[in-house]
């Protein structure tokens, strides 16, 4: 059976294995960094929930068209940024 993250009183009882935070920049070059709010909360969440992973994802128009960057967050640390165009 499937369960949600919350019980009937909206208390967290199950924690996700993966959380993804997406941002899209519609015009211009890629941002220098991932969204600060997303980064901070995923660092805190994965530090407090070591069985969970976080992914920071951003899309934008690069020199060759639409591109995507992502980084894995594990145990409160942001890993290497990966890029695909």
Check residue 28 and give its pLDDT: 64
Q: Could you give the CA distance from residue 16 to residue 70 in angstroms, rounded to a whole number?
A: 19
Mean pLDDT by 10 residues, the chain (85 residues): 80 89 78 88 96 93 84 96 80
CB within 8 A of 12, min separation 6: which ones?
5, 6
Q: Model's pTM, two decimal places?
A: 0.79
The CA angle 43-24-31, to the nearest 5 degrees, is 70
C-alpha to C-alpha distance for 45 and 60, rounded to whole angstroms:
26
């Amino acid at each position: 059976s499937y369960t949600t993250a919350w019980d009937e009183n909206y208390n967290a009882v199950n924690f996700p294995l993966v959380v993804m935070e997406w941002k899209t920049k519609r015009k211009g070059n890629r941002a220098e960094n991932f969204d600060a709010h997303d980064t901070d909360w995923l660092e805190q969440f994965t530090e407090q929930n070591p069985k969970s992973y976080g992914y920071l994802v951003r899309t934008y128009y690069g020199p060759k068209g639409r591109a995507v960057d992502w980084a894995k967050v594990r145990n409160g640390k942001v890993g290497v940024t990966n890029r695909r165009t």
